[in-house]
């Protein structure tokens, strides 16, 4: 007895696996195009060469005796930095504050803190999503780093 090909279960079994692979491949391609993981740096070689400069900046912060306390006031949308240093180091007029999200570079924020008094700096608090950030204070030839979870109220370096 001759049956039509589409009535044979083995034909559908043979067609099922390649069709499933094609659909899964198209879904994977869609995810690759639509999502930006932000983890790969374009200039990785250049950043690798700058590692010594980065270590020198960390050492300079220790040599200057820098001690920092960041306070976050979500109600007033304000960041206040209290910075102390050795008496022989003159504090800068502005300090760069950056929040780098650990996994999604699209959520990174940068703020310029301006000096309002001796050792006190202020700026507007940027909108940060919940998550873990690397917080960096930098000026002149030094930097301070700390990892912190948002939301945060105070952060000591």
Whether residue 75 is found in the same domain as residue 25:
no
Is pLDDT of 1 > 70? Answer: no
pLDDT of amino acid 18: 95
Is pLDDT of 21 > 90? Answer: yes
Number of structural domains the chain divides into: 2
Q: Is position 1 within any domain?
A: no
Burial degree of 68 (CB within 10 A; 0-12, 13-18, 19+): buried
Query: CA torsion, points 113, 156, 140, 62, in degrees to nearest 10?
Result: 170
Task: Report pTM.
Answer: 0.63
Whether residue 22 is found in the same domain as residue 93:
no
What average pLDDT does the chain have?
84
Whether residue 16 is found in the same domain as residue 53:
no
Q: Is position 2 within any domain?
A: no
Residue 38: which pLDDT band, with cuts at 50, 70 and 90? low
Whether residue 61 is found in the same domain as residue 16:
no
Contact residues for 92 (Cβ-Cβ < 8 A; gap 6+): 115, 139, 140
Q: Is position 16 within any domain?
A: yes
The closest alpha carbon to 85, from 103, 100, 63, 113, belongs to 63
Residue 20: give the domain boundaries: 7-34
Share of residues in the chain with pLDDT > 90 (%):
14
| pLDDT single digits (tens) 42-96 | 667 777 777 767 778 888 888 888 888 888 887 888 888 898 888 888 888 898 8
Whether residue 53 is found in the same domain as residue 20:
no
Better pLDDT: 23 or 77: 23
């Amino acid at each position: 007895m001759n049956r039509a090909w589409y009535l044979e279960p083995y034909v559908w079994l043979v067609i099922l696996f390649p069709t499933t692979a094609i659909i899964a491949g198209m879904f994977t391609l869609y995810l690759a195009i639509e999502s930006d993981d932000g983890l790969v740096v374009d200039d990785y070689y250049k950043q690798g060469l700058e590692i010594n400069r980065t270590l020198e900046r960390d050492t300079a912060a220790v040599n200057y005796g820098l001690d920092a306390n960041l306070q976050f006031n979500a109600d007033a949308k304000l960041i206040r930095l209290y910075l102390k240093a050795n008496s022989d180091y003159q504090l800068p007029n502005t300090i760069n504050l950056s929040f780098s999200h650990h996994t999604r570079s699209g959520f990174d924020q940068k703020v310029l803190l301006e000096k309002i008094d001796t050792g006190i700096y202020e700026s507007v608090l940027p909108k940060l999503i919940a998550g873990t950030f690397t917080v960096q204070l930098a000026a002149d030839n030094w930097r301070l780093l700390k990892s912190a979870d948002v939301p945060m109220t105070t952060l000591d370096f």
